[in-house]
Amino acid sequence: MTPPGILNDILSRVTEVGRSLSFASDDRSEAKSANLRDLCETLLSRQGEATGLALGRELLDRYATLDEAGKRSFFHDLNTGFGVDREVLEHALAEWQAHETDASARALHFASEPRSQELVRRLNRAPGGILDLVGMRSDLLRAVRADPELMPLDRDFQHLFGSWFNRGFLELRRIDWSTPAEILEKIIHYEAVHEINGWDDLRMRVAAPDRRLYAFFHPALTNEPLIFVEVALTDGIPSAIGRILSEQRDELDPSTATTAVFYSISNCQTGLRGVSFGNFLIKQVVEDLRSEFDSIRTFVTLSPVPGLRRWVEADIAKGEDGLLPAPMREAAAAGKGHDGTPSTIDHLAEIAALYLVEAKSHQGLPVDPVARFHLGNGARLEQVNLGADLSE
């Protein structure tokens, strides 16, 4: 039988250890991130397929419990602790310098790959892994804005996603009223240009005979649209969006349509930003519409100009060193037109055209992101429509 004094001493020690254990298992961000780092090392060291799948799933599930600080800490661990294996790289470099063969060049290429890329590949094998990785990159993009040092890790994700989501894997689907409700609800949620105000509004966009909606899907994300485009079949090039979205509009017999108007394109997955879909989507839809309707010969976008005000204000501040000629600069600075409203600013159409075509970034590309996208895909600026969107 243990004497009372010794028993009390043991209990006291157990209590202290318990406190210590409780402190060590506290869900602090850094502690959770460290545990994940160990899991990543284990995942990279395992060769068994079944074990790797289970471990990858566990790692992704644990990652999902992290707060923002924990995720940033985890990303820093990946960025600094799972880079290039320098010993392997140095050996491959020495082989290349000694022999300069195609084989040694390929070996050098693979040796220069950071370990983080292989880690992401193994996570992708876990059940449901690809959707979780898209969500993880969405978190990473937020972290990069606060800490640009994480940019190399983001390039790893973008490199891999560019392969996994290339056009060869994508499936084009037309979305109509028979599409499963789960997907239709996501279309309502993801619409980024012209808000869809409930089911009646959606029905008008996907079920009307002179309207079309097409989306790209990935075989691993069956019910998750990646990007979608909305199309109106019309008898001419419209000058305003109101006519297209109006509930009171007269429906057009699609067999008489002469023009396909791409009036909204929405990327659905933030984590796939920078992976090119829109170019392929629009061109694929053009081909599908051409094969369905002989009468359609004109394909046009009706696009917003999101950066105009910001650019004009910056150009005005430059004075004579800016791009705007004096009459345009003075009219824009006044902020109102001949009838007192901003939408009738004198020279506004010329200002917009100058901005869309002549305003360039440091890389020599159009400053406006919408213009950069469409002009880069081979379109031309056809017309500038004043007062084209008078909605709130």
Count of C-beta atoms within a 10 Å radius of residue 73 = 21
- Exposed e or buried b per residue across 112-126, where buried means at least 16 C-beta atoms within 10 angstroms of its C-beta: ebbbbbebbebbbeb
The total of other beta-carbon atoms located within 10 Å of residue 79's CB is 21
- Out of 138, 303, 338, 362, the active site residue is 303
Characterise 335 by phi-psi region: left (phi > 0), alpha (psi -120 to 50), beta (else): left
Phi and psi based region of residue 274 (left: phi greater than 0; alpha: psi -120 to 50; beta: remaining): left
Active site residue 138: no
Catalytic residue among 194, 218, 347, 374: 374
Helices (H), the chain: 4-24, 29-45, 49-64, 68-81, 86-99, 102-111, 115-124, 129-146, 151-164, 181-190, 198-206, 242-245, 278-292, 308-317, 326-334, 348-358, 369-376
Residue 347 known to be catalytic:
no
Q: Please identify every residue annotated as catalytic.
A: 303, 374
